[in-house]
């Protein structure tokens, strides 16, 4: 099993390839995604990201106690962040490079 640092760096390299931004910016964003997912495993977190159409989305999401809601056998994806939206009561996802802030 890979450790968390290698996952963060791999995600940062993938962001560099897809966005063309500097590695430093992408690494900071990858660490923010890691911290967000770690917090979401324990609590409901409020965060904001840019949707595909360019609008800002403020969401409340969690990854805590959702195992009984998962219906598939999805594979891990470093390009998208999946979460359970507690306001919409359904699963959502966004591109990791579109994360704006975590409240």
The DSSP output letter for 14 is H
pLDDT digits (tens, 9 = 90+) for 47-90: 999 999 999 999 999 999 887 777 777 777 789 999 999 999 99
**Higher pLDDT, residue 23 or 1:** 23
CA-based R_g, the chain, Å? 14
pLDDT digits (tens, 9 = 90+) for 5-29: 999 999 999 999 999 999 999 999 9
Nearest-angstrom CA–CA distance, 3 and 8? 9
Domain limits at 32?
A: 4-102
Q: State the total domains in the chain.
A: 1
Residue 61: strand pairing partners: 45, 85
Residue 39 pLDDT > 90, yes or no? yes
39 SS3 class:
helix
pTM score = 0.88
For tokens 């964003």, what's the residue?
29
Nearest-angstrom CA–CA distance, 59 and 48? 6
């Amino acid at each position: 099993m890979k450790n968390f640092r290698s996952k963060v760096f791999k995600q940062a390299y993938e962001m560099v390839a897809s966005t063309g931004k500097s590695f430093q910016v992408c690494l900071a964003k990858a660490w923010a995604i890691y911290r967000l997912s770690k917090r979401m495993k324990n609590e409901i977190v409020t965060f904001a990201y840019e949707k595909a159409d360019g609008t800002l989305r403020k969401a409340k999401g969690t990854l805590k106690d959702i195992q009984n809601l998962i219906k598939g056998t999805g594979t891990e994806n470093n390009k998208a962040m999946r979460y359970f939206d507690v306001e919409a009561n359904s699963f959502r996802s966004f591109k990791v490079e579109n994360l704006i802030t975590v409240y």
